[in-house]
A and B are shown apart, each in its own frame.
Chain A
Amino acid sequence: MQDLPCTESERYPWLTEPAKRNLLRMLESVHAPTFNHQCGDRLDPKTREQCAEFEKSLAGPLHRPSEPEPAWLNAFQTRCVEHVPIYRQLGRGATRFSELPTVGRKDLYDQPWAFVPDNQPLDDLMVYFTSGTTGRHLDILSHPYVSTCYLILLKKVLAEFGIRLKSGPDQVVIALVCAQKSTYTYASVSGYLDGAGFIKINLNSSDWPEPEAIGAYLRDMNPQIISGDPLALAHLRHVAPALRPDALVSSAMTLSEPFAQALTKTFECPVLNVYSMNECRLLAYQSQQGFRLASPDVYMEIMDPDQDQVLQPGQWGELVVTCPRNPFLPLLRYRTGDFGRLQPSDSGWLIQDFEGRPPVAFRTQQGTWINNIDISAKLRDLPWIQFTLHQKKSGDLVLELLAEAHLIPKVTQRLKALFGAGQKIQVKTFDPNAQAKPIQYSSVLDQQPVNLSFP
């Protein structure tokens, strides 16, 4: 569907002349791709003020493991149960936060409107759609505020790494690089960053004047930060290895530590791995100890995937988030579909052994069962870019791997060490274009209850 364009004043209610010049510079460069879309930040004065409040709130303390539930939680629960249809329906009668039932993606599929508070005006409603991991179309309702909150959080996370996110209309601060069959591409400017530029480009696309234009355009735009999933960042190493951004930001897929190191070596900058989801955008970022929550407006719990039972710190289970950030989608005990364990630390909660999927059981040659986490742990120190592993009815494995050729025997060797020497492994090259977000682990034999308490 061709999007109905906004007017320029709807797209950029604040647009200044210098910002407009910055936009034209990104659009009209001789190396520029044919952008197929237009997109602004839709930041009106009221939303900007709310964003400023959000930024101020980040100075507040994160929830500490030694403390009881955060102070805002009860008021948020009351507000949701009073004004949000789905929580009114499910949460009435629960007097404590811990008694609230969880909600999940199925609820969003079935009735996204039930998450919209009764008193929320619909003027600023935006609809993103995602096919998610199941391929089923999912509408995510959102607000321009949430998009700019991502920038504010990114600014904070970068500061943790000693990097100051620039602002001003004479530069491009972020390039979001994609390596997909097709995706929206556009150039934009941010009012919150005083007209600083943002480009979203597709490295795979035939939209470029010539193949060399990709590197030349990125060199000319000289983005301070380059973000993308590991596949796109791997592609970037080939097409523009001479770029020297201040940082790379990886998201959406598992980033192996050795591959992150390889990226650092190429681009001579740190690689930040962030945990972000469409429903409320950036939630956490990876540190040496695990993923740290990025903002005090996030309350994370770890739960049994099959019932509303909170697990103890250190136990592995489903991440359940409470976050009031999205005005059209307040999240109250929302099951993320992502897994990990929550560990207390002096500076706040850490998410460790993070996996963006429910657990999958694999059968070994000995007839025993192992979890996908065992496999992740076994392959953790190898610099693969991306892989998927599927177990067929026969027990044979299909490994689709994107990595340098010399790594293939190492990976299969490690898998055989886990599954048994006689394990048959069919190796294919991972096709980055096959699916927008690959399902890393799958098995037709997965009928075994997964042991969630493995180390």
Chain B
Amino acid sequence: MTRREGPPLADLLNRMVATPADFLREIPLNPKLGDFNILALINDLFLHIDGTPLKAHETGIFIFKKQAVAAYRNHMRLAAFTAWLLFEPLGHQPGLFRQHLIEWLSKGLAELGHWVTPEQVRLESDRREEFVRLCLRALGLRPAGESIHQAEDRLSTLDSAERARTVEKARLAEQRAREIREAMARKRAQEAAATYGRE
């Protein structure tokens, strides 16, 4: 894949650290009932970078549909956070990023939202760098001054560390679940305590 040279990594990392509180706030589930409209924010991002607002069929992902509240909220907070991160550094480049950006804000961040919150991304240095690199890669960019190979290598190192943490967490969770299942099998065959009423 050809990857253009994007903004310097350090600029993006500094910008992330300086994220204004407005871009980290709670996302109201119904924008009419809050003073923050995620759809308007994303629209502004597209107008600024691409020159064209979101089309009707592109807006669905940013609208809450009364399911998976926590996942929706985290996804949208990551989207708001990303909008701040990319707004200035990408500049005005009509047609260049539109499709990539839609994909990243919808599918990419939805997936990432299962694992991280904006706070974790901003406050943990490895995650900070990994997030910036993932953003750039998703937009077909590499950090200024790095070759594609260097960019991939560095992301892979960060990604490996994260993967190792995730694998370890999953292993511990599975071990605990197995211990409980084994205890259940043992205890199922054991006398319980008296119950004093019918349920």
- Chain A residues numbered 1-37 whose CB sits less than 8 Å from any CB in chain B: 1, 3-6, 11, 37
Q: Is B165's beta carbon under 8 Å from chain A?
A: no
Total A-B Cβ pairs within 8 A: 144
Q: How far is the CA of A101 from the CA of B113 in the complex (A)?
A: 16
* A39→B179 CA distance, assembly (Å): 25
Contacts of A274 in B (CB 8 A): 197
Tell whether B56 is near chain A: CB-to-CB under 8 Å. no
| With contact pairs A92-B117, A94-B70, A126-B187 given, residues A42 and B198 touching in the complex (Cβ less than 8 Å) | no
User: Are B198 and A252 in contact, with the CB atoms below 8 A?
Assistant: yes
Q: Does A95 contact B (CB under 8 A)?
A: yes
Interface string of B182-199 (1 = CB under 8 A from A): 011001111111111111
- Is B57 positioned at the interface, with any CB of A under 8 Å from its CB? no
Number of A interface residues in the complex (CB < 8 A): 68
Contact for B70 among A6, A93, A113, A122, CB less than 8 A: A93
CA distance A274 to B26 in the complex (A): 41
Name the segment of B2-10, B71-79, B88-96 touching the other chain: B71-79
Stretch at the interface among B61-69, B126-134, B151-159: B61-69
Name A114's contact: one of B66, B73, B177 (CB within 8 Å). B177
Q: Which of A277-285, A317-325, A372-380, A439-447 contacts B (4 or more CB under 8 A)?
A: A277-285
| Interchain CB contact under 8 A, B74 and A127 | no
From A112, A128, A282, A309, give the contact of B197 (CB < 8 A): A282
B180 part of interface (Cβ distance < 8 Å): yes
| Beta-carbon contact of A99 and B181 below 8 Å | no
Which of B26, B181, B189, B193 has the most CB atoms of chain A within a 10 A radius of its CB? B193
Q: Are B199 and A277 in touch, CB under 8 angstroms?
A: yes
CA distance A401 to B195 in the complex (A): 29
Taking the closest CB of chain A, its distance from the CB of B155, in whole angstroms, is: 25
With both chains docked as a complex, state the minimum distance between the C-beta of A265 and any C-beta of chain B, in angstroms.
22
- With both beta carbons as reference points, the residue of chain A lying nearest to B176 in the complex is identified as A118
**CB within 8 Å for A39 and B117 given contacts A125-B184, A307-B67, A308-B66:** no
Task: Check B40 for interface membership: any CB of A closer than 8 A.
Answer: no
- Shortest CB-to-CB span from A372 to chain B, Å, is 21
The CA-CA distance from A85 to B179 in the complex, in Å, is 14
Enumerate chain B residues within 8 angstroms of A334, measured Cβ to Cβ: none
A198 to B194, CA, bound (A): 9
Give a binary string over A125-138; 1 marks a CB under 8 Å from any B CB, 0 the rest: 11111100000000
- Return the contact of B26 from the options A95, A252, A281 (Cβ within 8 A): A95
Query: Is A113 touching B26 in the complex (CB atoms < 8 A)?
Result: no
Least distance between B136 CB and chain A CB atoms (Å): 25
A400 at the interface (CB under 8 A from B): no
Given A93-B74, A101-B68, residue A113 in contact with residue B177 (CB < 8 A): yes
B192 and A39 contact, CB distance less than 8 A: yes
Q: Report which residue of B74, B184, B188, B192 has the largest number of chain A beta carbons within 10 angstroms of its beta carbon.
A: B192
Residues in chain B near residue A305, CB distance under 8 A? none
Which chain B residue shows the least CB distance to A146? B193
Closest A residue, CB atoms, query B181:
A113
For the complex, what is the distance from the CA of A114 to the CA of B73, rounded to whole Å?
23
Q: Determine whether the beta carbon of A127 is less than 8 Å from that of B69.
A: no
Q: Which residues of B contact A343 (CB under 8 A)?
A: none
A201 at the interface (CB under 8 A from B): no
Query: Within 8 Å CB of A5, what residues of B?
Result: 191
Using known A-B contacts A93-B73, A127-B184, A308-B67, determine if residue A251 contacts B198 with beta carbons closer than 8 Å: yes
Within 8 A of A (CB), among B113-170: 113, 117
Asked whether A85 lies within 8 Å of B199 as measured between CB atoms, the reply is no
Judged by a CB distance under 8 angstroms, whether B29 is at the interface is yes
A6 B191 Cβ-Cβ under 8 A: yes
Check A90–B192 contact: CB distance below 8 A. no
Interface residues on B, range: 20 to 34
A229 contacts the other chain (CB 8 A): yes
* CB <8 Å contact, B195 and A112: no
Within 8 A of B (CB), among A95-132: 95, 99-101, 111-114, 116, 118, 122, 125-130
- In the bound complex, how far is the Cα of B194 from the Cα of A128, in angstroms? 11
Whether the Cβ atoms of A93 and B117 lie closer than 8 Å is: yes
Determine whether the beta carbon of A252 is less than 8 Å from that of B199: yes
Residue contact A125 to B196, C-beta cutoff 8 Å: no
| Interface window among A147-155, A411-419, A425-433 | A147-155
CB-CB under 8 A from A42, the residues of chain B are 193
B173 at the interface (CB under 8 A from A): yes
Q: Are A11 and B191 in contact, CB atoms less than 8 angstroms apart?
A: yes
Which residues from chain A contact B183 at a C-beta distance below 8 Å? 122, 125
Q: Are B193 and A113 in contact (CB under 8 A)?
A: no
Asked if residues A4 and B77 are in contact (CB atoms below 8 Å), the reply is no
User: Is the C-beta of A276 less than 8 angstroms from some C-beta in chain B?
Assistant: yes
Indicate which residue in B67, B68, B181, B198 contacts A228 across the interface (CB closer than 8 Å): B198
A276 touches B197 (CB 8 A): yes
A188 interface contact, C-beta 8 A: yes
Contact residues in A for B194 (Cβ distance below 8 Å): 39-41, 147, 186, 188, 190, 198, 200
Cβ B198 vs Cβ A112 within 8 A? no
Q: Is the CB of B191 within 8 A of A3?
A: yes
Instruction: Report yes or no: A100 in contact with B199, Cβ–Cβ below 8 A.
Output: no
> Besides A125-B183, A150-B195, 9 other CB < 8 A contacts?
A3-B191, A39-B192, A40-B194, A90-B70, A142-B193, A154-B197, A198-B194, A227-B196, A281-B195
Q: Can you list 26 pairs linking A and B with CB atoms under 8 Å apart?
A: A3-B189, A11-B191, A38-B191, A40-B191, A41-B194, A42-B193, A85-B177, A93-B113, A94-B73, A99-B70, A112-B180, A118-B176, A126-B187, A127-B190, A147-B193, A150-B195, A154-B197, A176-B195, A186-B194, A227-B196, A227-B198, A228-B198, A252-B198, A277-B199, A282-B197, A308-B69
Which 8 residue pairs are nearest across A and B when measured between Cβ atoms? Answer: A93-B74, A113-B180, A93-B70, A252-B198, A126-B192, A94-B70, A147-B193, A122-B183
